[in-house]
Amino acid sequence: MTASVLKSRAAVAWGAGKPLTIETVDVAPPKAGEVRVRIVATGVCHTDAFTLSGDDPEGIFPAILGHEGAGIVESVGEGVTSVQVGDHVIPLYTPECGECKFCKSGKTNLCQKIRETQGKGLMPDGTTRFSIDGQPIYHYMGTSTFSEYTVLPEISLAKINPEAPLEEVCLLGCGVTTGMGAVSNTAKVEPGDTVAVFGLGGIGLSVIIGAAMAGAGRIIAIDINESKFELARKLGATDCINPKDYDKSIQEVIVEMTDGGVEYSFECIGNVHVMRSALECCHKGWGESVIIGVAGAGQEISTRPFQLVTGRVWRGSAFGGVKGRSQLPEYVERYMNGEFKLDDFITHTMSLDDINDAFDLMHEGKSIRTVIHYNK
């Protein structure tokens, strides 16, 4: 049976800084190598807010945002073999083709196969599957999970255990995997290490979970919003500090607290000044700082080169260095085995109609993650 155009509820971003509006969108059937998915639930991540704000150089409008979802395959295009109708899947904004130079390198998860079209809000053939009254609406991060039905390339789907609750494991589509993966794949934290985590949103708290699982001896959590400290402690932070409580720089405070600095630090905010603090609180000779936060267009990081000459390392991490198709299903299994919990992160759930409230809660610092349930 050939699939036909579907009507779908979607939250459409018409322009930078404008609230999303709920629309009925036409979703064309998947073309060759593509899959149409019914999204069951989606988280709202700071990166969605970043693009909506207009600070994202790749932001294109009108578009359907959303990249932290989970759903069920509704139909498949020609030649699709790795998933079938009814499979449970997590959309991947970092695909895994298995054949490009990047996939074959064994050194990175940054598959480049569809990078160019994905960055332009298009499917690999250069067109979009979304429209309203014939007006094209762009895709976002190749995922567009703020539409109940969305189309993705086959290489952008991780097939997961069908028993997993989609309303929770959607968070593995971005935030939680990004934080945990940055600890285990990028930094490779070892038992006894001291770790500093800057920013205690969904990403920073996931770094704390990962660091606790890796056996870090001391986990220093830093935020200017102290309401985040309670959950940080629950997840494994040993010290919670607010930079506003000190006259000196936060890096000086941390270096003093730790007899010379931390083994690893993680910037989970997207603030270039904090990125500098995160590097400079690392221990001389070996400390490493991982940038996870996404800074605004045109911003630059700086430090004295002497910081690096004397052994500190600055690196970055996207999607926690995790290869989505081959490694994300394992994260779902680990969650199912009870190795970590996701419900702590879900401070709010709501229907798609209320999605602008999810952005407000994030900006007000009142939520960790809001999960949108399409059946609400």
Ligand X SMILES: NC(=O)c1ccc[n+]([C@@H]2O[C@H](COP(=O)([O-])OP(=O)(O)OC[C@H]3O[C@@H](n4cnc5c(N)ncnc54)[C@H](O)[C@@H]3O)[C@@H](O)[C@H]2O)c1
Toward Zn ion, which CB reaches closer, 54 or 243?
A: 54
Q: Say how many C-beta atoms besides its own lie within 10 A of residue 165's C-beta.
A: 14
From 30-38, 148-156, 288-296, 324-332, give the range in contact with ligand X by CB under 6 A: 288-296
Q: Of residues 129, 145, 174, 186, which has the active-site annotation? A: 174
d(Cα 61, Cα 222) in Å, to the nearest integer? 35
Binding partner selected for residue 194 from Zn ion, ligand X, none, CB under the kind-specific 5 to 8 Å limit: none
Is residue 208 at the binding interface for Zn ion, with CB under 5 A as the rule? no
Can 363 be counted among the known catalytic residues? no
> Which one of 23, 36, 42, 45 is the catalytic residue?
45
What angle (nearest 5°) sits at the alpha carbon of residue 237, between those of residues 216 and 266? 70
From 29, 54, 236, 243, residue interacting with ligand X (rule: CB under 6 A): 243
Task: Enter the tokens of residue 55.
Answer: 């600070």
User: SS3 of 221, please?
Assistant: strand
Q: Is 268 a catalytic residue?
A: no
Find how far residue 68's CA is from the centre of its chain. Answer: 7
DSSP 209-237: HHHHHTT-SEEEEE-S-GGGHHHHHHHT-
Q: Which is nearer to Zn ion, 183 or 216 (CB)?
A: 183
Q: Quick one: 114 or 222, whose CB is closer to ligand X?
A: 222
User: 354: Cβ–Cβ under 8 A, 6 or more apart, which residues?
Assistant: none
**99: exposed, middle or buried (Cβ count in 10 Å: 0-12, 13-18, 19+):** exposed
Q: Is 161 helix (H, G, I), strand (E, B) or coil?
A: coil
Work out what residue 74 binds among Zn ion, ligand X, none; the CB cut-off runs from 5 to 8 Å by kind: none
Does 46 participate in catalysis according to the annotation?
yes
- DSSP, res 296: P
- Active-site residue, from 139, 283, 325, 369: 369
How far apart (Å, rounded) are the C-alpha atoms in residues 217 and 252? 20
**Residue (8 or 186) nearer to ligand X, CB:** 186
Say whether residue 45 binds Zn ion (CB under 5 A). Answer: yes
Residues that bind ligand X (CB under 6 A): 45-47, 50, 174-175, 178, 198-204, 222-225, 228, 243, 268-271, 274, 292-294, 317-319, 362, 365
Residues that bind Zn ion (CB under 5 A): 45, 47, 97, 100, 103, 111, 113, 174
